[in-house]
Amino acid sequence: MAKKIHNERLIIRNLKNVRITFLVQTIGIVAVLIYYAALDGVTAVVQDPLWLVLLVSLIVFFALHLKISKDLQDHSKRAT
């Protein structure tokens, strides 16, 4: 079992690592989809399960990003 991290610097570094991993994964999926599009056309890409994985992951990413942006706006309004 992994130990819980209490150091803020390590928590931020861990979050940066997750972000980089997500970016590399997304670039890999996009590259595979472009390759499929070059071979079989766009209709084959839309029918591929990787397309669904890419769409779901981007929707989740943007939803979480909007939540963070909203929390930051709420915090700045309370501070004034």
Structure tokens at 68: 């963070």
Yes or no: say if 37 and 54 are a contact pair by the CB < 8 Å rule.
no
48 SS3 class:
coil
> Hey, what amino acid is at 45?
V
Tens-place pLDDT, residues 28-72: 999 999 999 999 999 988 898 999 999 998 898 888 777 766 665
Question: What's the pTM value of the predicted model, to 2 decimals?
Answer: 0.69
Read off the pLDDT band of 15 (50, 70, 90): confident
| pLDDT at site 5 | 64
Instruction: List, in order, residues 6 or more apart from 37 with CB less than 8 Å away.
Output: 44, 45
